[in-house]
Structure 1
Amino acid sequence: MTEDEVEVGVGPWVGPWPTDDRYDPELLEHGDRRNVVDRYRYWTREAVVADLDLRRHDFHVAIENWQHDMNIGTVVRTANAFLARAVHIVGRRRWNRRGAMVTDRYQHVFHHETVEDLLAWARSEDLPIVGIDNLPGAVPLESVELPRRCVLLFGQEGPGLSEPARAAASLVCSIAQFGSTRSINAGVAGGIAMHAWIRQHA
Structure 2
Amino acid sequence: MSEEREVGVGPWQGPWPQDDRLDPALLEAGDRRNVVDRYRYWSHDAIVADLATRRLGFHVAIENWEHDFNIGSVVRTANALGAAAFHVVGRRRWNRRGAMVTDRYQVEHHHRDAEALHAWAQTAGEGGAPLRLVAVDNVPGALPLETYDLPHGCVLVLGQEGPGITAEMLAVCDDVVEIGQHGSTRSMNAGAAAAIVMHAWVRRHVHHQRPVAPG
Counterpart selection for 1:184 from 158, 181, 188: 188
Please give the residue correspondences for 1:34-113 in structure 2 after superposition, counting only pairs within 5 Å. 34-113=33-112
* Runs of 4+ deviating beyond 6 Å: none
Aligned-pair Cα RMSD in Å = 1.0
Match of 1:152 in 2: 156
Task: Show CA shifts across 1:87-146 (max 9, x none).
Answer: 000001111111101111111111111111111100122111000000101000000101
Counterpart selection for 2:145 from 141, 144, 164: 141
CA distance in 1, matches of 2:171, 2:5: 50
Listed as ranges, the gaps of 5+ residues in structure 1 are none
Cα shift at 1:15: 1.0
CA distance in 1, matches of 2:176, 2:4: 45
- SS of 1:189's equivalent in the other structure is helix
Counterpart selection for 1:127 from 125, 131, 139: 131
User: Which residue identity is paired with 1:156?
Assistant: Q
- In 2 relative to 1, CA 101–3 (structure 1 residues): closer, same or farther, beyond 3 Å? farther
Task: Show CA shifts across 1:26-83 (max 9, x none).
Answer: 0000000011111100000110111111011000000000000010000000000110
CA distance in 1, matches of 2:3, 2:34: 16
Q: Does 1:196 align with 2:200?
A: yes
CA distance in 2, matches of 1:196, 1:5: 32
TM-score w.r.t. the length of structure 1 is 0.97
- SS of 1:130's equivalent in the other structure is strand
Cα shift at 1:19: 1.5
User: Which residue identity is paired with 1:9?
Assistant: G
User: Which residue identity is paired with 1:38?
Assistant: D
User: Which residue identity is paired with 2:92?
Assistant: R
Identity level (%): 64
CA distance in 2, matches of 1:9, 1:21: 20
How many residue pairs get matched? 201
- SS of 1:124's equivalent in the other structure is coil
User: Which residue identity is paired with 2:173?
Assistant: A
- SS of 2:66's equivalent in the other structure is coil
Cα shift at 1:4: 4.9
TM-score w.r.t. the length of structure 2 is 0.91
Listed as ranges, the gaps of 5+ residues in structure 2 are 125-129, 207-215
